[in-house]
Amino acid sequence: MVELPNSLARPSCAYQREREGNEMKTVIVGANHAGIAAANTLLDTYPDQEVVMIDRNTNLSYLGCGTALWVGRQIDSVDKLFYTNKDAFEAKGAQVFMETEVTSIDFDAHLVSCHPRTGADFTIKYDKLVLATGSLPIAPKLPGHDLAGINFLKLFQEGQEVDRQISDDSVEDVAVVGAGYIGVEIAEAAKRRGKNVRIFDIAPTSLASYYDPEFAALMDERLAQGGIECHFGEAVCAYVGDETGHVRSITTEQGSYPADLVVNAIGFIPNNALGRDHLELFDNGAYLVDRHQQTSDPDVYAIGDCATVYSNALHATTYIALATNAVRSGIVAGHNIGGTPLESIGVQGSNAISVMGLNLCSTGLSVRAAEKAGLEVLYTDFEDLQRPAFMRENAQVKIRIVYERGSRRVVGAQLASEYDVSMAIHLFSLAIEEGVTIDKLKLLDIFFLPHFNQPYNYITMAALGAE
């Protein structure tokens, strides 16, 4: 693996002279987290780069993870969910085309064909191409799927539309289909706005892709306590509308439920429309990339939710759609295009959720995910107070560490608490990345102070309980 030199903060004069008069044009299709990271890396570090950014949206840099916070009125303004804009990139020298659809790519001729919302179609020639096309929501063609009032939650505009409908007093019943992170968060947001909320998922629990049942059950219980009606292990079959063509109920295998607003949060699939007939694909349709983010075409890179990642837990290529992965992949691609060989160090898929006062965090593989992948694992659980019992402010913490049976290396961890235990998950992320064994954690040097934790720390206590 090639490490990024510290000198890359600014290229050497020799490098600049070598590249002078020999600009390379990089076209980036998609200008959200991954595309932005690639563009910033190229523009800030490699002055020889001519960067063109193309996006079909009206905006860039929208933090979709904040949509539920806005809908639930937990933040003051939706404006703060944008961290950069078109003007910032144009000031750096990039050419930016917003509200422009890429209709096709001629990979042999290195030509990108574009259709702007206004104006004439045009083509752009590239030396290197970066596909940062993201993902698309899964949208089953169930009866009634085209009724008004059925929404998705991906783009900024979609979040605004959901907020508009929830603000309508005539909307009383909200149905959320899909109990992953987005579904659970928007269910809480709708409940905060005074709606009757039902959440549905074919899985037996919420958050089934991230947590084992013992942890997911804590969230299920919390949702129910908060007044959200949970329908897990229950598949949605159809939507039923009124005479105006607006959804009024949702039908499952077990019954029919009122719904004035439906939010479809089943999940996402890689958006591979532009390159699927030319580039090698992973089994789920994502662009297959190496540790440099390079596709099967050496002049094409793929980053973010449209591309694969390397899992340090699995020791294999996989697919994990996260904004953090997107940013890192954009940085890696940018440096490789700029002329600095740089390999990704792999990912763990670290994630977290905070709903109704309950915090869940995880990294790597759950027991369920490991077994599904064919990895033979063991796990150790421990539960205790975060601080000594004499502390007035305290909270219970539940931890699970998952480790491979043969090698004993840590491959996953899950934590649940009303206390903010999120920093602990970073330790486990690094442990997975470095191949640390469960035995190395047994006597880990963790400080103690009553304000923060207990002398018998739940991390080491869990490790000591391992087989």
Show the domains of the chain with their CATH numbers.
Answer: 6-135+269-338 (3.50.50.60), 139-266 (3.50.50.60), 359-464 (3.30.390.30)
- pLDDT score of 22: 63
How many H-runs (helices) and E-runs (strands) does the chain carry?
A: 11, 25
Tokens 């719904």 belong to: 259
Over 70: is that where the pLDDT of 99 sits? yes
Q: Distance (Å, rounded) from C-alpha 432 to C-alpha 313? A: 6
What whole-number distance in Å separates Cα of residue 157 and Cα of residue 153?
A: 9
Q: Which of 13, 65, 115, 451 is catalytic?
A: 65
**What is the pTM (predicted TM-score) of this model?**
0.92
| Residue percentage of the chain with pLDDT more than 90 | 93
Q: Give me the catalytic one of 13, 33, 361, 451.
A: 33
Say yes or no to pLDDT of 7 above 50. Answer: no
CB 265 within 8 A of CB 159: no
Provide φ and ψ at 460, rounded to 5°. Answer: -70, -35
pLDDT digit string (tens) for 256-291?
Answer: 999 999 999 999 999 999 999 999 999 999 999 999
Task: Give 346-395 pLDDT, tens digit per residue.
Answer: 999 999 999 999 999 999 999 999 999 999 999 999 999 999 999 999 99
**Residue 11 has what pLDDT?**
38
451 in catalytic set: no
Angle formed by the axes of helices 181-192 and 213-225, nearest 10°: 20
Decide if 110 is catalytic. no
Phi and psi based region of residue 37 (left: phi greater than 0; alpha: psi -120 to 50; beta: remaining): alpha
Compute the mean pLDDT over every residue in the chain, rounded to the nearest whole number: 94
